[in-house]
Amino acid sequence: MAIRRRTGGAPRWTELYAALCAAALLLTLTVVYLTTVHVRTAVAEFARSAARPRPVHGVPYADLINRTAVAHHLNPALLAAVVAAESGFDPEARSPRGAYGLMQVMPATWRELDAAAACGATVGPAPPCMNDPAANLEVGATYLRRLLDRFGGNVVLAVAAYNAGAGTVVHHRGVPPFPETARYLRQVALAWFHLEHDGTLTPFWLAVIRAFDLWQRARPVLLAALAALAVPWMWPRPRHRLGPVVPR
């Protein structure tokens, strides 16, 4: 009589479960890295080097952004980063608060900078050319340049003021402690980091920047899901005993 041997190897479902756990771990580590280590590196470098000129390419309106930035003595990568965070390069973008175009310019800013006159007759609450990419970039760049001059070239304060208002930054003597402003600074810094180093912004990074809040909210959910997936691996597994060897 032949000796009976137990067939080794893990069940198929165990292999699939292990693959699922590995994929969840990789996704979680990626999200945690992007929303912590990587963004902190971007913010730190942004504070030091965001004024350093770097032409951009491969993004919508790249040539127009480069020309407008040079005309206003701005870093093109900085101007493009603000556009990425504000509108995602969509000239038709409009916020619930009434901001328009690539740089999400408010009608009050157009009037303050006396830009409405170049648009012709105003019909309704906003000038008719606020969605025009060239006009919108011109006004947004003018306003950003004014903020940089007001805050002594401090790019972080100027960008914070672009989001929260110059008066708010002056009142708080620095970046206002608002979650929206903190998120906005991280978005601009992350966009600038890749524009400064690569000269362009891939669709992947643009999607990450535009949905930065979602990525941050997903982090605890992913960590909880990963912990739940790891629970079965902690249970003691039953030991399988081989049957007795039957001699021939």
Angle, helices 39-49/155-164, rounded to nearest 10 degrees: 110
* 86 counts as catalytic: yes
- Residue of 15, 45, 86, 92 marked active site: 86
The CA–CA distances, whole Å, from 17 to 107, 181, 223, 243 equal 55, 41, 17, 29
Q: Residue 9 corresponds to which tokens in the numbers above?
A: 């190897």
Residue closest to 189 by CA, chosen among 39, 37, 51? 39
Separation between Cα atoms, residue 142 and residue 44, nearest integer Å = 25
Query: Per 3-state DSSP, what percentage of the chain is helix, strand, and coil (rounded to 5)?
Result: 65, 0, 35
* Residues 6+ away with beta carbon under 8 Å from 191: 80, 81, 84, 85, 201, 205, 206, 209
Sequential DSSP letters for 12-23: HHHHHHHHHHHH
So which residues are the catalytic ones? 86
